Amino acid sequence: MDNQSNTSAPTVRPTKKQKELLVYIERFIGEHGYSPSYREIMGALEYNSVATVALHVGNLIKRGHLVKRDHSARSLEVVAPSGDALPAQLATNQIKPAEEKWLIGQVEHHLNQAELSGEVMQATIDDLYVLLGALRVLGLAGAAQSFVERLTALKAKVANPAQNSA
């Protein structure tokens, strides 16, 4: 019996409320760089008291889903999820080479269609800006920059409709 420990790797999945709390703490830490206070958790998750937060946090610590460093304020840490207890963090700005090629192909296709079209609509320009923004977010700023000159020329056509007939 002495060999059993509740603070080892999580063995029991968190309840729905506990999972909600874990996700909130993980997101808060991601945004701010430190864990939320019990009062911030209480307000965000609409609990009625700090004691309720403390109860849930205590249970998550016992189950091994959270760790509290040296009993100080704002010291909660989410333990790396095991299995499917929490969704794995996605590296949202990493894509495969085939996906990169596909996205660049989409930008090229839409630009070609707009350039060949007799009339350029503002919605088309907006869609192209979204695609270029996606390239930048995905770490392909160089590819996005290569399309800027062509997009600027299309934007000028929208601003000066007389050029559309050229």
Mark whether 105 and 70 lie in a shared domain. no
DSSP lists the bridge partners of residue 67 as: 77
Is 66 within 8 Å of 26 (Cβ atoms)?
no
The DSSP line for 52-120 is HHHHHHHHHHHHTSEEESTT-TT-EEEPPP-TTSSPPPP-TT---HHHHHHHHHHHHHHHHHHHHSSS-
115 within domain boundaries: yes
Start-to-end C-alpha separation, the chain:
86
Residue at a domain's end among 27, 45, 78: 78
Q: What is the pLDDT of residue 94?
A: 66
pLDDT digits (tens, 9 = 90+) for 1-37: 444 444 445 467 888 888 899 989 988 888 888 889 9
131 within domain boundaries: yes
5 within domain boundaries: no
Q: What is the pLDDT of residue 4?
A: 43
Domain that holds residue 117: 97-165
> Hey, what are 117's tokens?
């079209």
88 within domain boundaries: no
Report the CATH number that the domain containing residue 35 is assigned in CATH.
1.10.10.10
pLDDT digits (tens, 9 = 90+) for 99-132: 888 888 888 988 888 888 877 788 888 888 888 8
Report the domain count for the chain: 2
Tell me the C-alpha distance between 57 and 68, whole Å.
9
Mark whether 101 and 159 lie in a shared domain. yes
H-helix or E-strand containing 118?
none
